[in-house]
Amino acid sequence: MADKRGIAGLGGITLALVVLVPLAGCTSGGKGDAEVVRKVDAAELVHLSANERADPSQPLTVTAEPGSRLTDVTVVGPDGRVVAGRLSEDQRSWQTTGRLKAATAYTVRIAADDGRGGRGETTAGFSTLAAQHLLTAKLGPDSSGSGVYGVGQPLTVELSEAVKDPQARQEVERALAVVSQPAVSGGWYWVDDRNLHFRPEEYWPTGTTVSLAFEATGSRISEGLYGGDRAALALRIGERVESVVDAAAHELTLKRSGQAVRTIPVTTGKPGFDTRNGVKVVLGQERKVRMSGETIGIAAGSQEAYDLDVEWATRVTWSGEYLHAAPWSVGSQGVENVSHGCTGMSTENARWFYQNTRVGDLVTVVNSRGKSMEPFGNGFGDWNIAWSEWIRHSALGQPVNTTAPATRAPATGMIAPQL
């Protein structure tokens, strides 16, 4: 009597015998005899590793019973997407290589050969466990505009859940794929339990194309926490533009591709309001912005109070430090520092600077009596951290090479390509 264990022995698995391979005719030995393919129940020939409570972080395996072989396996989700998989060389087993989602019902279609001239097909279903929590990621920068950024632009990840465990953080980093052309050596820095930044060891090369993806769907991050939906973005790096503001010399020099283009007389923060020293990254630009001293703690009506419409404003900190037009201080520009922390210049120069700068460009302030730029929380001070220190704040503790994965031809037995 035939062994009936196979798929039929799995609790919770729904089986259905589907369309069988039709009769095939061929000539044999020149006698014209028709060779008949015997129909069999493929459910008796194969075994699934999954059941109704399958762990989505574990691959699904389909195994052929002794003497049988698999001829085709396809795993499909409710959205119609096929899960990638690979057939072993001896066709005795097949395993998913693509990720399974949590709390998802899948359909498995299997074709098998019993090794004795019998062939058949069967369909099975299984469901993955629901995750207590799904981890998703908001990626930055937002490249919904031109998608072109300066050489100093970091990549950012904001997680939907706090991740504190070191091993769970490693899983997160493994799920973050950074690819660039040309390739660079870069690394992740955990700013806090929810936020990571990525930057190259050196500034991005001009013309670099960059892609970032969160590829954790179905992956177990920690107990009860699984990767949620995929997220991705792409951007391009423009020409290298960096400006150096010398607070002591009261001038700004803009360089393009390493060559000085223009030097502008400026005024920076006066005593008590000294401009921050260090490397900053352009966060945004506003043609006109309302600036009020109350936003930085200056009481309305006091001697230092101000409330102005300011033109051609290029922002470098969230707390309100800009490089902008300051026609009221032209007499002091190039001579002394009289601002409340911003870098002021004439309207003409501010317009030119605005038009020759983009988000992600570098602005470095030197020789100011102010404090140093904060590494995080007030803009992007990422470049003020030494590379060796940066890498120590990666969960994996090593640089990331952004070379694209090698493109390989499908191996024999690759049944279901990744969509």
| Three-point CA angle 235, 227, 176, nearest 5° | 35
The type of residue at 118 is G
Main-chain phi, psi angles of 225, to 5 degrees: -120, 120
Main-chain phi, psi angles of 43, to 5 degrees: -60, -25
Catalytic residue among 133, 324, 340, 393: 324
Residue 59: asked if its preceding bond is cis (omega within 30°), the reply is no
Residues 378 and 272: their CA atoms lie apart, in Å, by: 19
Catalytic residue among 47, 250, 340, 342: 342
The type of residue at 404 is A
Closest CA to 361 of 238, 201, 275: 238
- In the chain the first and final C-alpha atoms are separated, in Å, by 42
Residues 349 and 369: their CA atoms lie apart, in Å, by: 24
> Based on C-alpha coordinates, what's the Rg of the chain?
31
Beta partners for 61? 95
Q: Cβ neighbours of residue 285 under 8 Å, at least 6 residues apart?
A: 313, 314, 315, 354, 357, 358, 359
- DSSP result, 241-310: EEEEEETTTTEEEEEETTEEEEEEE-B-BPTTSPPPBEEEE--EEEEEEEEEGGGGTPPTTSTT--EEEE
Residues 173 and 189: their CA atoms lie apart, in Å, by: 10
Block residue for tokens 């493109």: 407
The type of residue at 275 is T
342 is catalytic: yes
How would you class 13 by CB atoms within 10 Å of its CB: exposed for 0-12, middle for 13-18, buried for 19 or more?
A: middle
Which positions are catalytic? Answer: 324, 342
